[in-house]
Structure 1
Amino acid sequence: MSVTDAPPAPAVLRTATGREAARWVTAHCREVPWLTTATVLTTVAGAALQVLPVLLLGRVVDAVAGGDSRSVLVTIGALMVAAALLGAAATAVSTYLIGRLGADLLARLREGAVRAVLAMPSARVEQVGRGDVLSRVGDDVAVISKGIRTAVPTVFSAGVLVAIATVGMFGLDWRLGLAGAGALPAYALALRWYLPRSAPLYRRQRVAQADRAQALISGLNGIDTVRAYRLEDSFRERVTHESWRVRDLGIEVFRFFGRFVGRENRAEFIGLTLIIVVGYALLEADAATLGQVSAAPLLFHRLFTPLGAIMFTFDEAQKSGASLTRLVGVLGEDAADRLVGD
């Protein structure tokens, strides 16, 4: 069979690129500058206040080793308590503002997608299939809504905390900072292995869910015809096949993510080992204080929680990103229809 005789690919709604989706989000954030600015500032403040107690703990070690008065320890302890309380308050406000900003974004995106679908010519809807349309304004909206409640605040807050903690580690001693940075290649290799494989896999999962919805809807809409021609078994087999396809992809995603977490744990082990070894060498050479050497591994260990949170919610963020590109693609369909109409 020649290339010209090959059956045409099934029509689907447009899917935006990651850059187009990022531009859409950026444009929305610029429309609410005060909310965006307050979200960023409270997130940075919360991260800095979470790192401060660890740095002060190193000062406590130096104070004890140097035989300082008890008043110094009381002052440092009071600062640690105040930093912890203010950090908790700033983190709570930041989480609320991130959720509010995300909810506003989701509302605009959902309204725009529904508006685009309602304005779409019926011929186009029949061409792509109702399952693809409903999965975008239904399943994709649900995925993004869940991501805004869980993944987005976690990833954003944890990312800022990692940046602040890294700066604090270099502030202790640049050699300890370089030792902690020695884990970056391991993290980079893990992400290099994960990212190129994850996005296509999540897209396949979303497409499979759309195909399952299309198989179910087509049978329900034509139920009278199905019963008249006794095609119940055929449609049941089709729905079962698509459902098992979604299940198999879900298992594949879970196994894939588990391998990624193993690589992330390897990077943590490398970084912590390097900091302990370099810290011991600096202490033996009298090139750093005991407080600095003690605070550095604690500060790096403090990154385990945010980094782990990013890794464990990264699959949800990837799913939200895939759904975001599909919904922004629907907005592009609306723009294309207006251009053709003009």
Structure 2
Amino acid sequence: MSTTATRVAPATLRTATGREATRWVTAHCREIPWLTTATVLTTVVGAALQVLPVLLLGRVVDGVVEGESRSVLLTVGVLMGAAALLGAVATAVSTYLIGRLGADLLARLREGAVRAVLGMPSARVEQVGRGDVLSRVGDDVAVLSKGIRMAIPTVFSAGVLVFIATVGMFGLDWRLGLAGAGALPAYALALRWYLPRSAPLYKKQRVAQADRAQALISGLNGIDTVRAYRLEDSVREQVTHESWRVRNYGIEVFRFFGRFVGRENRAEFIGLVLILVVGYALLEADAASLGEVAAAPLMFHRLFTPLGAIMFTFDEAQKSGASLTRLIGVLGEPAEERLVGDAGVTPADT
């Protein structure tokens, strides 16, 4: 008897891990360094220019309290307007570059996934089911394309803005910065509750969509057999069952995300209250200027918009992440199971 074990192909196409997906994206970003660098720089500059008017507003408050000349206040006002205008331009350029970078990555990924699928033997396609194959090169590509256009630019830009605004708050006064940082445990608890539960839920939703596609395709391909054996009701029931599964997962995802938003709002309330209390105490002790104390709540409030954008697009970003791992999983199908070409990815080490 041979001691060499026969490798049995899995019954479904593989799904890549988050680490594999990150490596693939990083590797392809390095292939276009000028676009990647320009995207990062414009995003950082745009975020800094959006935060600058809030810092200058604190300077205006202190100037009024100290009785500075009108020309100084006018100069600060002009700087605020220029910063806001340049920030808007930089943000627009950043959004365009993020979309262009994402479109380039999507084109490479889609080409590789289609090549991998076309290179599979028909026996492998029949083994995993046509629904799974078509859902990956069809539905998953569509979901990822939508995420690249909408969610991913928003999440990336908002994340950079949150970081810059946090640094700016500490720049006003480290004690006010620490007060704002008091909301971080609430944010961390919300994310710790949400992330481990959301990723498996999105994967189940994508699998359910693949099962629904498989039920539909099987029924349509075998329509003559279905009619000959009068299996219409059975096929219809199966399609209905799979459709209800997709619908139920969609409702569950929406409810779950709503609970996450409530926890994020709680964190915002905690941070704003802490900043107001600490700011009042610093003013009473004459340990900070009125401009600093006035700018700190505005700076923290400035975080609400990007954090809200992240929350309300996180649902789409999670879907995009699940689709990305499924598509990269197709690229990682064993090389010996392809008849043509190379999908452009090295299978992960096992």
What is the identity, as a one-letter code, of the residue corresponding to 1:123?
A
Answer whether contact 1:129 1:214 (CA < 8 A) is retained: yes
Superposition deviation, residue 9 in structure 1: 12
Partner of 1:66: 66
Partner of 2:222: 222
Task: Say yes or no: does 1:175 pair with 2:175.
Answer: yes
Superposition deviation, residue 82 in structure 1: 0.3
How far apart are the structure 2 equivalents of 1:64 and 1:283?
A: 16
Partner of 2:107: 107
Runs of 4+ in 1 over 6 A off after TM superposition: none
How far apart are the structure 1 equivalents of 2:259 and 2:142?
A: 27
Partner of 1:126: 126
How far apart are the structure 1 equivalents of 2:337 and 2:106?
A: 23
Superposition deviation, residue 10 in structure 1: 7.9
Over 3 Å counting, the alpha-carbon distance change for 1:9 and 1:241 in structure 2 is farther
Partner of 2:347: none
Superposition deviation, residue 337 in structure 1: 2.9
Partner of 1:4: none
What is the identity, as a one-letter code, of the residue corresponding to 2:72?
V
1:122-178 CA distances to partner (integer Å, 9 max, x unpaired)?
Answer: 111000000000000000000000000110000000000000000000000000000
Answer whether contact 1:120 1:334 (CA < 8 A) is retained: no
Answer whether contact 1:183 1:268 (CA < 8 A) is retained: yes
1:20-70 CA distances to partner (integer Å, 9 max, x unpaired)?
Answer: 000000001000000000000000000000000000000000000000000
How far apart are the structure 1 equivalents of 2:176 and 2:324?
A: 40
- Percent identical pairs in the alignment equals 89
What is the identity, as a one-letter code, of the residue corresponding to 1:147?
G
What is the identity, as a one-letter code, of the residue corresponding to 1:318?
Q
How far apart are the structure 2 equivalents of 1:127 and 1:334?
A: 15
Q: After superposing the two structures, state which structure 1 stretch, 174-183 or 10-19, moved more.
A: 10-19
What is the identity, as a one-letter code, of the residue corresponding to 1:91?
T
How far apart are the structure 2 equivalents of 1:179 and 1:311?
A: 22
Partner of 1:244: 244
Give structure 2 stretches of 5+ with no counterpart.
1-7, 342-350
How far apart are the structure 1 equivalents of 2:149 and 2:98?
A: 9
Larger helix proportion of the pair:
1
> What SS does the corresponding residue of 2:333 show, helix, strand or coil?
helix
Counterpart mapping for 1:204-283 below 5 A? 204-283=204-283
Give structure 1 stretches of 5+ with no counterpart.
1-7
Answer whether contact 1:117 1:334 (CA < 8 A) is retained: no
How far apart are the structure 1 equivalents of 2:166 and 2:318?
A: 25
Superposition deviation, residue 335 in structure 1: 3.5
What is the identity, as a one-letter code, of the residue corresponding to 2:34?
W
How far apart are the structure 2 equivalents of 1:301 and 1:23?
A: 35
Counterpart mapping for 1:1-342 below 5 A? 11-333=11-333, 335=335, 337=337
How far apart are the structure 2 equivalents of 1:299 and 1:336?
A: 56
1:168-226 CA distances to partner (integer Å, 9 max, x unpaired)?
Answer: 00000000000000000000000000000000000000000000000000000000111
TM-score, normalised to structure 1's length?
A: 0.96
Pairwise CA RMSD: 1.5
> What SS does the corresponding residue of 1:333 show, helix, strand or coil?
coil
Partner of 2:348: none
1:290-315 CA distances to partner (integer Å, 9 max, x unpaired)?
Answer: 00000000000000000010011111
Answer whether contact 2:116 2:338 (CA < 8 A) is retained: no
How far apart are the structure 2 equivalents of 1:24 and 1:202?
A: 21
Answer whether contact 1:42 1:90 (CA < 8 A) is retained: yes
How far apart are the structure 2 equivalents of 1:245 and 1:12?
A: 19
Partner of 1:3: none
Superposition deviation, residue 11 in structure 1: 1.2
**Count, aligned residues:** 333
